[in-house]
Structure 1
Amino acid sequence: MFKKILIANRGEIALRIIRTCKEMGIKTVAVYSTADQNSLHVKFADEAVCIGPPPGRDSYLKIPSILAAAEITNAEAIHPGYGFLAENAEFSRICQEHDLKFIGPSPEMIEQMGDKATAKATMIKNNVPVVPGSEGIVTSIEEGKKIAKNIGFPVIIKASAGGGGRGMRVVQSEDKFEHAFKTCRNEAESAFNNPAVYIEKFVVNPRHIEIQIMGDQHGNVKHLGERECSLQRRHQKILEEAPSPVMTPEVREKMGQAAVNAGKAIDYEGAGTVEFIVDKDLNFYFMEMNTRIQVEHPVTEEITWCDLVEQQIRVAAGEEIEMKPLKMRGHAIECRINAEDPEHNFRPTAGEITSFNVPGGHSVRVDTHAYAGYRIPPNYDSMIAKLIVSAPTRPEAIKRMKRALQEFVVEGVKTTIPYHLQLMDDPNFQSGDFNTQYLEQHFKFKP
């Protein structure tokens, strides 16, 4: 087992990793930008190294600075968290070259799943259901139109190197295809320095359901059930829960096996998430694989009693995962608490938190790096906390979440807490009748 791990990340996920390391008896090294010098992950790590000014490109994305921090502190391994360098194949490769264990998959695994077209081709070869569409990159408007007509409109054009909702265009008819194709390629080139796009059938009103998997260095891959992630704005998740309110045992078994097949197809190591879109009849199709820990991993932890970060570390150290049958208990919900103003189109609200009271009580968990007096920097993602609750049933979990949200007091900046409180009272949310378009098309926040 490792004696010291450097966490190449910031905020709540860095603190989350530090907590597990402490319980495992592993020393930790935090890295931080000058904007994060007062963040809790810096305070609670055993050692902390400043790696640059606030912009991510000059600090958390600056590989030489992170490697230098690992070298001067004698760290043996690096945990990348999520975001920043977590799915950067080159970073994984450089860690290997410097005898640092990257707590995550190999560069080859990241490359295979990071390119969406390659990932889709891999899934097809391994009997994982995929959305009908192009077999790979589409290079011309004529080719794209032909494919679109064969599978039927509407279709969606996606950047092969895309993510976060960028480089995507839904096309309803042939006459709008050319403009959308050119726009998507230009956006992909600008955002990802890669203009490659592919085409898929657009599934109307789908759900977004993902399967958590874990693989080790001995060829074992298992899944830990699903997470419901359909409640989104601008392709960004707002709330996640486990299990999905529409899942059946039969579909869970099929989807879980498909996710395991996806992991085995690339000899996957570490924590990964296989994401599916699911239609109204619970037909599911592979969307993408995230080769890292997810923001929403706590809901899986709460219903499986499995510390996913601990499993990541143990797998990286060469241990085998336990292949016990999946056991889930109860229901868990996570609300992302962002420093955003829902009254003004979710405008980010960086600044000083003057008052900060986190909820407590039975089966209430708060993952956060913030506190009263903490100044939220404008340079990073606006999420300041994750509120997670669990209960024996979904209705009980919703009641508990509502109570916890009422206790959660953040003053000095606007947050999404009022938005989540209204969502708890929404009849369609309570009944589980929603899809990925629900929040933007049907749910209206009332100031």
Structure 2
Amino acid sequence: MTSRLSRFFAVSVGLPALLSCGAPPSGGEPTASSLVSSQAQALADSTPAATGVLAFLNDNSTTLSVLDNDVPLNALAAQGLIAWRAGPDGIEHTGDDRRFISIAQVDAVPNVGPAALADLEWYAKGTGRVTGLPLDALVGNFDGHDFTVAEARRALKAANTESGPTLATYGIPALAVQDILAARPLFNMVKLSRLTHVDFTALQQLKAATALAPEGDPCTGAGTCQPGLVCEGRPNDGSSNFGRCINTAPIPGDGDTCSVFAPCQAKLACHAVPSGYPEGWCRPAWMTGEFTRYADVSLPSTTTPVESTVAVVGLATVPEDILVELDLVHTAPHRLVLTLVDPGGDSALLWNGPAEGTPPSLISVTRGISRDASINGRWLLRVTNPSGVGSGTLRSWKVKLNSRWD
């Protein structure tokens, strides 16, 4: 990783994320709501954002004009990226063409720095090139408004399907309505926000009209879900502002016995079996969740513990099954001690490398954490190397949870 990219990660916690007027972050002034605390990991290799940016840059349809005019990047940065991709002969579509395989490689191109990286991330997210983001992840700031994945989907659905008179009843100005109707289909937020008459007011009205979340979408409290739904699983520890909209109506088969060979009915999931039991019981499917942290945390040759956290939202109140999936590379993995801490402070010794050897990629938590403890909130993975021998990287980790009401 170059020193410039390291500086980008260091300062970008305070960078404005994806700012206004249908422009990337370098084109506007920061707003408090558009600061993203997780930006330091956003473009770490193998994250959804990094994968999307690399795919965009490696696509032959991403021409100099696209980089210079559509993103838009500084002209010198755009020229440098195309020239690097063209290879030593400087001519595209020849045998020496190159592909970007890491964000550090992109950053090493002359005239590419923090502003260009932020612009590329904004454009990749805003045009839908970044997949695998959770519904409450920020897509970007468009015409002065932050949009999560779920909010962007709802806004674009309305823009593509509602009639002109209906859009007008939302309070969207007439000229903006005409632009939207003429531009259909609108597949991404960049295209929508860059329509001539779609401005702060138009997107404000569109976002407000589609604010009530359907089942499964993120919510922030009472009155933010559609009628008949409740906002469940919003953490109390400040790790996230979001819960999930759920339907609490009874589901046939809830509480029935299940197994690998006797699965639950639709809208239900089999609990206890993931922990290794031969039989379990059926619970509503919304009580199951997977939460990933793209950590990209260095594990140096030191005895100092390294920690990474992930926010769990939208589940019931207490855990039933807890599994941890690791993407970890290390020169001496058998020396590592792994600990998981739940939102209430209960801890479980996941793996004791000195006694148990190299940790597997998937670990079922069967000790340490109470099944009556809190589940929504900040979960922490601690990696310790008591001997200080060996080094590596915690690239990502995932906690898989089944919950129940306490």
Q: TM-score if structure 2 supplies the norm length?
A: 0.26
Larger radius of gyration: 2
Higher helix residue share: 1
The structure with more strand, counted as a fraction of residues: 1
TM-score using structure 1 length: 0.24
